[in-house]
Structure 1
């Protein structure tokens, strides 16, 4: 398990994160925001779709990064957190996530085939991966939300909807 995932949410320094997460459903009822794939050049590209169907709270990558940095500093773990070490830790967490699905066969969206305990475990492992990914990007000086938006823009060019709709071929098949 990783850093901020272990943080006690009843601690005052983490309360604002819990409050944002718990207020998500009220805030998301405001309707869908447009996602601009060209916003990658803007460092505030962390704006996400906020709809009734959204599964995410309004916690930002920057808030997660800051919370994780504080967690690491409080434990003097920065000395162990080279990009290589963080990457290897993240790969280990991906393995732990994969282990939950091992031998399950296909699993449907929403994970109805998994027990409540297994779904909770999935959430814990995905959180570990996200925390390590955020830490890795920070240590590599990569603006993760902007890089993701830039990648989505590139994917939109490689996979034009009018050519790939309903198809799962590699992008080279559409050139």
Structure 2
């Protein structure tokens, strides 16, 4: 999924700036939400990026992913494992024969 070298670059970026002290799980979770809201803002009033600014979407997705990686790293989660685990749970929750072409949320 995300290469070890990319994860290590994020770790080094943070370490070089001595920011680990600020990256509590709560702060990282808040940052994910804030950056996700900034991504959503790119689509305010439209289903396409505002003013066609795909680069801004690119940057906001990167911000969300970086904070997700940092929070996962903080808890020692393997990104592939948590994604595959969630996909497995979702496959049981949303079987193809019931969910195909249906956007209703399962209960």
Same fold (TM over 0.5): yes
Deviation at 1:171, TM superposition (A): 2.1
Cα distance in 2 between the residues matched to 1:64 and 1:101: 28
Cα distance in 2 between the residues matched to 1:92 and 1:163: 34
Cα distance in 1 between the residues matched to 2:82 and 2:16: 29
Partner of 2:4: 62
Cα distance in 2 between the residues matched to 1:91 and 1:165: 29
Structure 1 residue aligned with 2:43, among 98, 101, 113?
A: 101
Q: 1:102 to 1:114 in 2, by over 3 A?
A: same
- 5+ long unaligned stretches in structure 1: 1-45, 47-59
Partner of 1:147: 82
Q: What TM-score, normalized to structure 1?
A: 0.56
Larger radius of gyration: 1
Question: Contact 1:65–1:134 (CA<8 Å) still a contact in 2?
Answer: yes
CA deviations on 1:25-66 (whole Å, 9 max, x unpaired) are: xxxxxxxxxxxxxxxxxxxxx4xxxxxxxxxxxxx2433221
Cα distance in 2 between the residues matched to 1:65 and 1:125: 18
- 5+ long unaligned stretches in structure 2: none
Whose RCO is larger (CA < 8 A, sep 6+)?
1
Cα distance in 2 between the residues matched to 1:157 and 1:94: 27
Partner of 1:119: 54
- Indicate the SS of the match to 1:101: coil
Give 1 or 2: higher helix fraction. Answer: 2
